[in-house]
Structure 1
Amino acid sequence: MLYGKLKEYRALITFPSLTEALGAEKVLSRYNCPFASIPTPRSLRSGCNTALCFPLERKSLVDDLIDDGVVLTGMYEAREDGFISLVW
């Protein structure tokens, strides 16, 4: 079941640490991409308890995150029946 901004945005990225999540917030802000920090869903938890969700149609910004040195552990599309891993 989707909740909050995740229901609206549908794209979710996870990180190995809070430092990486904060770095991603800076990059998304620089590109004027709306986002929300949310608790990492239990089924995707891998190190950091904070994930970012943002509009699925802006998923190409993941390349910019990587170019800026942000380390991700995964990118997912949130659906009512679960999370689908996305390739970037």
Structure 2
Amino acid sequence: MREKELRLVVTFHTTADAMAMEKACREHDVPGRLIPVPRSISAGCGLAWCAPLAEREKLCAVMEEQGIGPEGLHECPVCV
């Protein structure tokens, strides 16, 4: 069984926002990956960006710069 680790999970209103986040993070070398939204979180889109907690400020800066509006930022255990 894979271990769960506390991570920052960013949810989005639309799949287009999730895809834009993936592209922006790749361009700005921000670690993370798209994952299905964990069951413990309710979101409009079925995809979320999962990243280390330490990357919160960097992620928020990238979203603001790129005009990506998150639905929510959550700290929750995720399989790594």
Query: What's the TM-score bracket when you normalise by the shorter of the two chains?
Result: 0.7 to 0.9
Greater share of residues in strand: 2
Equivalent residues of 1:9, 1:54 under 8 A apart = no
- Name stretches of at least 5 consecutive residues in structure 2 with no aligned partner: none
1:48 aligns with 2:39: no
SS at match of 2:43: coil
Kept in 2, the 8 Å contact 1:8–1:55? The answer is no
Normalised by the length of structure 2, the TM-score is 0.79
Q: Residues 9 and 37 from structure 1, CA distance in 2 versus in 1: closer, same or farther, beyond 3 angstroms? A: farther
Asked if residue 75 in structure 1 is aligned to residue 68 in structure 2, the reply is: no
Give percent identity, aligned residues only.
30
Question: What residue in structure 1 maps to residue 30 of structure 2?
Answer: 33
**How far does residue 27 in structure 1 lie from its aligned partner after superposition?**
1.2
Closer/same/farther in 2, CA of residues 9 and 33 from structure 1, 3 Å limit:
farther
- The gaps in structure 1 that reach 5 residues or longer are 81-88
Instruction: Give, as a single letter, the amino acid of the residue that structure 1 aligns with 2:49.
Output: L
Q: How many residues were matched structurally?
A: 76
Structure with higher RCO (Cα < 8 A, 6+ apart): 2
Q: Secondary structure at the match of 2:69?
A: coil
